[in-house]
Every structure is written in structure tokens, then in C-alpha cells.
Amino acid sequence: MWPSFLSLLSKITGEGYQGTIQGVACSLGGLASIIGLILGGLLYEMLAGESFLIAGVVICVVFLLNFKLRHFEKEL
């Protein structure tokens, strides 16, 4: 799991729940990695080369969402 994401979680969460929230976040991150690999393989099997175009679009969307997250981080 990304350290920056865990840092944001620790700032948002109260002191009594930090371990629980970070444990759940790491568990869900691992599960997302497994599901992502399976879905990526299926997507490549169905769409072949177009799957790289879809990955590029997802990266662009994440890049744009980064600016919204920076606004959120300044509010903390």
C-alpha cells in the first residue's frame, strides 16, 4: 500500500482506530491487487491491444483526480 495514502488515513482517523483502519486499508489493497491482476488478464484476453488504451485513460483520470486530492490535503 502507498505510504502517502496511509498518511492521509492516519490524519483523518481518530487515534483509537488508526491501527484498525490501516489494517483494513492494507487488506483491501492486497485484495485489489489480486482482483486487478485477474481483471487485467481478462481484459487483455478480450480486447488485446485496446487494453493499453484503456489503461492510458485510467492513468489520465487518476492524474486529474490528483489535483482534487491536493485540495483535500490542504484542508487537513
In angstroms and rounded to an integer, the radius of gyration of the C-alpha atoms of the chain is: 16
Number of domains making up the chain? 1
The pLDDT score that the predictor gives to residue 73 is 64
User: What residue numbers bound the domain in which 24 lies?
Assistant: 3-75
CA 16 to chain centre: 24
The pLDDT score that the predictor gives to residue 11 is 82
The Cβ of residue 34 has, within 10 Å, a number of other Cβ atoms equal to 9
The pLDDT score that the predictor gives to residue 76 is 62
pLDDT tens string for the chain (76 positions)? 577 777 878 888 888 888 888 888 889 989 999 999 999 888 889 988 888 888 899 999 999 988 887 776 666 6
Q: What count of Cα atoms within 13 Å lies in the side-chain half-sphere of residue 30? A: 5
